Structure 1
Amino acid sequence: MTLTQLEYLVALDTYRHFATAAEHCHVTQPTLSMQIQKLEDELGILVFDRSKQPVVPTETGQVILAQAREVVQAARRIPELVKESKSEISGELRLGIIPTLAPYLLPYFIRSFMSKYPAVTVHVQELLTEQIVDKLKNGLFDVGIVVTPLPDSGLREFPLFYEPFMVYTSPEHPLYRSDRVTADDLMADGLWLLSEGHCFRNQVMNLCGQPLRGAQPLRYETGSLETLMKIIDKQDGFTLIPYLATLDMAADRLARVKPFADPQPVREVSLVTHRSYLKKGLIDALQREILAHMPAELTRREKGAVVAL
């Protein structure tokens, strides 16, 4: 049994396709297939059920793969430890971020981060929370920026800040005349929501605490809050938006933003990694850079009425 064979196992489990796994490992498909077969012969069991497409681990294979991932992660940690001992911040950082944070949070820190650490290549992908968690577990992401807490003991969460919810309303809607709104006000007619699967939608539903009356679900798969606001500008109704989305608004739109009465509902925004995560130095640098460029009112804010996922 070799480390290379374990890496091939992990790659095939991640991609569930021999050709894709081989490409990821920079070897030919016959080489990867032969080495996995050789390891299976040595162990005397089948790690993968090849009769199914895509291939899936056998019951025993799942146990072996879990251990293989730990061994491969531990081996990959050694070069990272060397970099950290030399105070080197370099390499590749694969970052996943949810759509209701990406357009509002990334501009605050990404340019400064890349300028300060020119030896780092950053790959950013917007995905839903569930997809980010899956990629973290499969080693395809180094870190995610999501809303927490998450119901997964295999992940580590590093809270960054607590972001208030705000209401964005049409001037024709009754909520426009309110100085502050409450959760009960969300039961009014005209609430626009993101499509199912977006955690921001789930947070709004949980904030209401009961089935919504008069909600107008919008099936918009990119999760664009900006689109919801433009619909409200042209038609009627209201929606909820994160505080960061209000900071660069024009004055006419900002007049349509209404805060909640105290205690304000907030969402906890965190960096999330796998428990056996690599690139600690890189991720620590990312955390410092985000906090250094966040609006002071967010970093000072204490945890309030956090809306559960």
Structure 2
Amino acid sequence: MTLIQLEYIVALDTLKHFAKAAAHCHVTQPSLSMQVQKLEEELGVQIFVRTTPVTTTDTGQLIIQQARKVLTEAANIHELIEQEKSIVGGNLKIGVIPTLAPYLLPRFVQSFTQTYPKVKLSIYDLTTENIVRQLKNGNIDAGIMATPLGYAELKEDFLFNEEFVAYVSTTQKLFDKRFLLPTDMDINNMWLLEEGHCLRNQVINFCAIQKIASTEKHFEYSAGSIETLKRFVDTNGGITLLPELATYDISDTQKNMLRYFKSPAPVREISLVTLKTFNKRRLINILKNTILENIPEQMLQKKKVDVIAI
């Protein structure tokens, strides 16, 4: 068994096609096919069913899962050597939840890539569920996401608390209030993100709106982005909750529609999440420091908060 063979079966499992997997690995299709067959013969099991598209057997899926981990650990050897040489370089694959990515990434990515040009930074918009899955599979190195998650195998490195802010239409009675309470929120006037976003769960948990829905709505819409939520409030009235970073680059008119909650401020905890066995600690610490250097200073100030569960 060789690392090359493991690389081939991972590529084949991902692409489901021998020719595409061979092209991805920069080898001929016969060479890749021969190495896959040799590995199957050595292990005495069938990893793939030669159909179109190629399918992975149940036993093969277990082998692929372990192969991904082995390849990740092998790549870490190069990272360790670079760290010993005090070279900040290598590859760093990061998953970021969609409700955070548009507002956080522009604040630090340019600074990071300019300061550390030998680091190849790859960033993916992924839901919380997908980030956890990709971390466990070894497809990404870290996630920037809402916590706590409660997974024993994951390390959560706290970054900052992001306050929830109400975005209230001028047609709402709440527009006349200076500060709000969770009990002021009414499901019948709220716009929510679609299922799959942890922010949706947190809004529901914070407002306990599943308990206070009293009348049937004649129109329901679950938005796919925070920007869509804001537009619906702007044009159709109602209320939504925004994470703090989404409130900085808006117009003065829109800022006038923001309403904050009484202390303790409701927040979502944002952390840098990795596997506990992850070895690129120096690179992760550098990434963490770069993020903290480029977010609004007021978000780092200590104050009484209420962390909302996911």
- TM-score w.r.t. the length of structure 1 is 0.88
**Residues 228 and 239 of structure 1 are in contact (CA less than 8 Å); yes or no, is this contact kept in structure 2?**
yes
Give the Cα–Cα distance (whole angstroms) in 1 for the partners of residues 116 and 53 of structure 2.
42
SS of residue in 1 equivalent to 2:157: strand
Partner residue of 1:267?
268
Partner residue of 2:207?
208
Cα deviation, 1:179-232, whole Å, max 9, x if unaligned, reads 222221122531011112111112111222242626764244xx3212221221
CA shift in 2, pair 1:281/1:17, >3 Å: farther
Gaps of 5+ in 1: none
Give the Cα–Cα distance (whole angstroms) in 2 for the partners of residues 307 and 226 of structure 1.
22
Give the Cα–Cα distance (whole angstroms) in 2 for the partners of residues 154 and 15 of structure 1.
28
**Residues 8 and 32 of structure 2 are in contact (CA less than 8 Å); yes or no, is this contact kept in structure 1?**
yes
What pairs with 1:55-134 in structure 2 (closer than 5 Å)? 55-58=55-58, 60-134=59-133
Shift of 1:118: 2.1
Partner residue of 1:230?
231
Partner residue of 2:140?
141
Give the Cα–Cα distance (whole angstroms) in 2 for the partners of residues 125 and 7 of structure 1.
22
Superposed CA RMSD in Å reads 2.5
**Residues 18 and 33 of structure 1 are in contact (CA less than 8 Å); yes or no, is this contact kept in structure 2?**
yes
Give the Cα–Cα distance (whole angstroms) in 2 for the partners of residues 183 and 113 of structure 1.
38
Cα deviation, 1:102-139, whole Å, max 9, x if unaligned, reads 12111221221122112233332323222333333343
Shift of 1:257: 0.7
Specify the code of the residue in structure 2 equivalent to 1:162. Answer: N
Partner residue of 2:24?
24
Partner residue of 1:280?
281
Identity %: 46
CA shift in 2, pair 1:162/1:20, >3 Å: farther
Give the Cα–Cα distance (whole angstroms) in 1 for the partners of residues 143 and 238 of structure 2.
33
Specify the code of the residue in structure 1 equivalent to 2:204. Answer: M
- TM-score w.r.t. the length of structure 2 is 0.88
Gaps of 5+ in 2: none
SS of residue in 1 equivalent to 2:254: helix
Shift of 1:14: 3.9
**241-250 or 6-15: which moved more?**
6-15
Give the Cα–Cα distance (whole angstroms) in 1 for the partners of residues 241 and 200 of structure 2.
9
CA shift in 2, pair 1:308/1:18, >3 Å: farther
Partner residue of 1:239?
240
Shift of 1:25: 2.4
Partner residue of 2:177?
178
**94-103 or 73-82: which moved more?**
94-103
